[in-house]
């Protein structure tokens, strides 16, 4: 028996630790609702829906509630790209302009840049996000969409706008979290010769039975409302809303209605909708080696640091694989996770991580922006999992 297998008493202890965090966070009105799932050694040991999916309509959270995924879209779309790589239809070191001849951004000195698929996957392509920039900076002036607003433009038009702005740095020389996965989505569509939604479905979600996941909510009645933290309790997000982020940045422009808008462009980095159970299925597939989607060798490359010692702002102690962060130094990151743990989150309120050493996968989807992504709840939940496992 693995030292990390749980007996009934251990399972009850783990559940109690997680329940306490969820109950306390809901009572303190930092979250409106959440779905939290934990698997250990491939076996589900925790699955709870708590709070409200829609507080104003008294609709409780359910295990199959749908959420706007925001950046949880990235590992799904990155996996789709890697499936194309495994099939020999795309190369990690292919230049992006081989697939998108019209996408040719320049460096600060005016020279055309050589961006590869690997640069896009590792977020070393020289791009950024509008929400990281100051008000009225280059992306805003060019009308670039981060993929979460109602921009009323096509993916092709957004790529044209991105390419009109000089890169922040020469590709491969720095790491900056960015809109690169939207560009990757356009590459996937071109390589697969299909619209991005169809490509992701055929490459990833359909083979895994992720029937709840796509670029539009498959069932509007199951879609959670969206909230943001406010002074006394979370407020419901408007159809066109703004959430402050890091001081000095322009912050997030969000349009929750985008999840139901068939005309919204498919944002590979922020535009998908899905359920916690669907996403857990993907994480467990990757943790177990990738079959039937990917060979184990490519999963190892995806889930190991690919950027050397390039510094990562906002994520101390972590490196970056092909579409996900990878833990290098638990002390610097101030976490109980094992080295090699992969983790990301999403603006609308999600966090997830996979600890391959202890064979733990955790998915926490919430409907409360930022608190569920990078707030105290995310820290407390992670600690509760390891406390429940005895931090062995």
Catalytic site includes residue 351? no
Structure-token pair, residue 223: 């879609």
- Element containing residue 381 per DSSP (H, E): helix 376-388
Separation CA 255–CA 147 (nearest Å): 10
Separation CA 210–CA 220 (nearest Å): 17
The residues with which 43 forms a beta bridge, in sequence order, are: 40
* Cis peptide preceding 224, ω within 30 of 0: no
Structure-token pair, residue 107: 């460096």
Please classify residue 132 by burial: count the beta carbons closer than 10 Å to its beta carbon, then call 0-12 exposed, 13-18 middle and 19+ buried: buried
Please classify residue 295 by burial: count the beta carbons closer than 10 Å to its beta carbon, then call 0-12 exposed, 13-18 middle and 19+ buried: middle
Separation CA 14–CA 8 (nearest Å): 10
Structure-token pair, residue 83: 């499936």
| DSSP symbol at 339 | T
3-state secondary structure of 150: coil
Q: Where are the alpha helices (DSSP H) in the chain?
A: 8-27, 73-86, 96-99, 117-122, 138-142, 155-163, 180-192, 196-200, 206-208, 276-287, 296-302, 330-333, 371-374, 376-388
Q: Nearest 5°: CA angle at 326, between 321 and 327?
A: 155
Residues 6+ apart with CB under 8 A from 87: none
Indicate which residue of 71, 73, 78, 361 is catalytic. Answer: 71
Structure-token pair, residue 106: 């320049």
Structure-token pair, residue 361: 């996968």
List the catalytic residues.
71
């Amino acid at each position: 028996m693995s030292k990390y297998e749980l007996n009934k008493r251990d399972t009850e202890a783990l559940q109690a630790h997680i329940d306490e965090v969820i109950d306390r966070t809901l009572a303190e009105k930092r979250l409106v609702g959440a779905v939290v799932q934990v698997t250990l050694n491939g076996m589900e040991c925790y699955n709870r829906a708590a709070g409200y999916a829609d507080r104003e309509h008294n609709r409780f959270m359910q295990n199959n509630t749908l959420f706007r995924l925001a950046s949880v879209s990235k590992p799904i779309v990155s996996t789709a790209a890697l499936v194309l790589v495994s099939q020999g239809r795309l190369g990690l070191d292919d230049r992006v302009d081989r697939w998108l001849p019209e996408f040719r951004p320049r460096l600060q000195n005016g020279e055309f840049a050589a961006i590869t698929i690997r640069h896009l996957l590792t977020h070393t392509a020289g791009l950024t996000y509008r929400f990281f920039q100051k008000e009225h900076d280059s992306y805003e002036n060019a009308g670039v969409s981060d993929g979460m607003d109602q921009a009323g433009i096509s993916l092709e038009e957004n790529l044209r706008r991105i390419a009109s702005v000089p890169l922040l740095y020469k590709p491969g020389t720095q790491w900056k979290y960015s809109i690169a996965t939207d560009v990757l989505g356009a590459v996937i569509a071109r390589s697969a010769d299909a619209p991005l939604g169809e490509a992701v479905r055929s490459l990833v979600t359909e083979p895994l039975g992720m029937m709840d996941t796509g670029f539009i909510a498959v069932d509007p009645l199951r879609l959670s409302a969206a909230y943001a933290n406010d002074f006394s309790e979370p407020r419901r997000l408007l159809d066109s809303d703004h959430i402050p982020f890091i001081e000095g940045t322009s912050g997030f422009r969000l349009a929750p209605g985008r999840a139901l808008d068939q005309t919204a462009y498919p944002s590979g980095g922020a535009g998908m909708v899905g359920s916690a159970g669907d996403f857990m299925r993907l994480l467990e597939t990757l943790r177990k080696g990738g079959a039937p989607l990917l060979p184990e060798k490519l999963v190892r490359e995806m889930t190991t640091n690919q950027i050397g010692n390039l510094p990562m702002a906002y994520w101390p102690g972590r490196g970056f694989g092909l579409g996900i962060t990878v833990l290098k130094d638990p002390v610097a990151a101030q976490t109980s996770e094992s080295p090699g743990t992969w983790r990301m989150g999403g603006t609308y309120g999600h966090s997830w991580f996979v600890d391959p050493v202890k064979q733990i996968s955790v998915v926490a989807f919430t409907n409360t922006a930022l608190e569920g992504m990078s707030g105290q709840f995310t820290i407390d939940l992670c600690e509760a999992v390891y406390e429940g496992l005895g931090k062995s």
